Amino acid sequence: MPMVNYIWVGMTIIGIIFGIANGTMDEVNKAIFKGAADAVTLCIGLISILVFWLGMMKIAEESGLLEKLSSFFRPVVKWLFPEVPVRHPAMGYILSNIIANMFGLGNAATPLGIKAMEQLKELNGGKDYASRSMVTFLAINTSSITLIPTTVIAIRMNYHSASPTEIVVPTLIATIISAICGILIDRYFYYRRSRKG
Amino acid sequence: MGILSLISLWFIPILIGFILLYGTFKGVPTYESFVEGGKEGIKIAISIIPFLVGMLVAISVFRASGALDYLMEFIRPALKSIGVPAEIVPLAIIRPISGTAALGMTADLIAAHGPDSFIGRLASVLQGSTDTTFYVLTVYFGAVGIRKMGDALKVGLLADVAGIAAAILVVVYIWY
C-alpha cells in the first residue's frame, strides 16, 4: 500500500490518542472541522489564480512562447529530465513553474506545476504511480532557487528591520545549495531504484 | 536592492503584457484561448478539494492534540546537538508540513527576537529557502491522480533537510 496512507492514518490516530492522553479532545474536535474548512477555503481561493494563470499559459502555449522558453534552457533541462522529449509541452510548464518559484510567485507556480504533472502523467502512459521525472520535478520544486522571497521581506518590513532585503543574497545562496542537494538526492534514489530493477 | 523590489513589482504585469502581445502577434485568438485554459483551472481547483481536506484535517488534528509539540520536544535535543538553535527547531519541523503555520512561526520569531538578530535572520532565510513539501505533494499529485508516490516523499523531505542545513550554514558563515 502506498506510504501516504500510513502517514495519513498515523497522523490522525496519533493525534486522537494524544487528545485522549492530554485532555485536548476539545481542540481535536475543533481541529477536525477547522482543517476541513481551511482546505476548502484554500481551494476556493485557488480558483481565481488557477483560472487566470492557466488562461494566460494557454495563450503562451498556443503562441509557441512556452516552446521558445524551453529551447532556451534545453541543455540543463535535458540533463535533469532525460525521459521527457525536448519538444514536449511538459518542458515549457516545468520551466515556467521553476521561474515562477524563483520570483516567489507561489500562487502562479501552483497551476503551472499541476499542468506540468498532468503532462508528465500523460508521458507515463496515464499510470497512477510517480514516474522518475515526476520525482525529479518534485525535488526541484521543494528545494527551488528563490530570487526574491517576497513574503519574508514584507514581514521584516513590518517589524522595522534596518535592512529588510539583506536576506535576499543569503537566501539565494542557501537555495542554490539546497537545489543542488535536492537534485543529487533525487539522482541517488533513482540509481538505487534502477539497481534493484 | 531597489532594483530587486522594482523587478518583483513589475514582473507580473510586464509578463502578462508580453504574453498577450506575443500571442496577438502570432495570430492566436487570445481571449478564446484564455477562456479555454481558464476552464481547466476550475476543474483542477475542485478536484483537489478532497486531497487537501484529508491532508489538512490530519495535520490540524496532529497539531491541535499536542502531538506535534511532543514530537518537537523529542527531536529538539538531537537537532540542538548538531548546532540547530532551539528557537528555530519548531519552524524547521513545521516548514515542510504546513505553509501557513510556518509563516506564522516566522513572524513570531521575528517579532520576538527582532528582524536583525541571529534568530530573526535565520528564520527569514529558512522561510525563504524551503517549501511546503506536503502541500506540493498533495496538490500536484492529487490534481492529476497519482496514487503511488514512490520515492517522492523521501526525496522531498531529504531535500528539505538539506535546505534547512544550508540556511543555517549560510547565515552563520555570512554574519557570524
pLDDT tens-digit readout, A105-148 = 666 788 889 999 999 999 999 888 899 999 999 988 887 777 76
Contact between B62 and A42 using a beta-carbon 8 Å cutoff:
no
Predicted pLDDT of residue B36? 92
Residue A107 lies in a domain: yes
A146 touching B, CB under 8 A?
Answer: yes
Residue A30 lies in a domain: no
- CA–centroid distance for A64 within its chain: 24
Contact between A177 and B41 using a beta-carbon 8 Å cutoff:
no
Contact residues, A window 31-70, toward B, CB-based 8 Å cutoff: 31-32, 34-36, 38-40, 42-44, 46-47, 49-65
Residue A145 lies in a domain: yes
Predicted pLDDT of residue B4? 57
Residue A156 lies in a domain: yes
B23 touching A, CB under 8 A?
Answer: yes
Predicted pLDDT of residue A166? 85
Choose the mutation target among A41, A53, A63, A144 for the interface with B, i.e. most B CBs under 10 Å: A63
Side chain identity at residue B134, one-letter code: F
Contact between A138 and B158 using a beta-carbon 8 Å cutoff:
no
In angstroms, the CA A121 to CA B149 distance is 12
Contact between A159 and B35 using a beta-carbon 8 Å cutoff:
no
Nearest chain B alpha carbon to A149: B128
**Cβ atoms within 10 A of the Cβ of A146, count?**
26
Residue A26 lies in a domain: no
B33 touching A, CB under 8 A?
Answer: yes
Mean pLDDT for the stretch of residues B14-27 = 93
First to last CA, chain B: 22
Note whether A107 and A49 are within 8 A (CB): yes
Predicted pLDDT of residue A107? 66
**ipTM of the shown complex:** 0.77
pTM (2 d.p.): 0.77
Residue A8 lies in a domain: no
- Please name the residue that has the C-alpha cell 517576497: A150
Task: Determine the structural domain holding residue A69 and report its residue range.
Answer: 48-196
Instruction: Report the candidate in A102, A97, A177, A100 with the shortest Cα–Cα distance to residue A147.
Output: A102
Instruction: Report the candidate in B62, B148, B131, B63 with the shortest Cα–Cα distance to residue A8.
Output: B62
In angstroms, the CA B154 to CA B92 distance is 16
Q: Which of A21-30, A44-53, A86-95, A101-110 is least confident?
A: A101-110
Residues of A in contact with B69 (CB under 8 A): none
Alpha-carbon distances of B141 from A130, B44, B111, B122, rounded to whole Å: 8, 11, 36, 31
Side chain identity at residue B7, one-letter code: I
Which has more pLDDT, B10 or A19?
A19
A173 touching B, CB under 8 A?
Answer: yes
Residue A27 lies in a domain: no
pLDDT interval class at A3 (50, 70, 90): low
Q: Spell out the alpha helix ranges (H) of B27-151.
A: 30-47, 49-64, 67-81, 89-94, 99-113, 118-129, 133-144
pLDDT interval class at A28 (50, 70, 90): very high
A197 touching B, CB under 8 A?
Answer: no
pLDDT at A104 over 70: no
pLDDT interval class at B123 (50, 70, 90): very high
Q: Which of A23-27, A152-156, A187-191 is least confident?
A: A152-156
Domain count within chain A: 1
pLDDT at B32 over 90: yes
Residue A34 lies in a domain: no
The percentage of chain A sitting over the pLDDT mark of 70, rounded to a whole number, equals 94
- Orientation angle between helical segments A132-142 and A168-196, nearest 10 degrees: 160
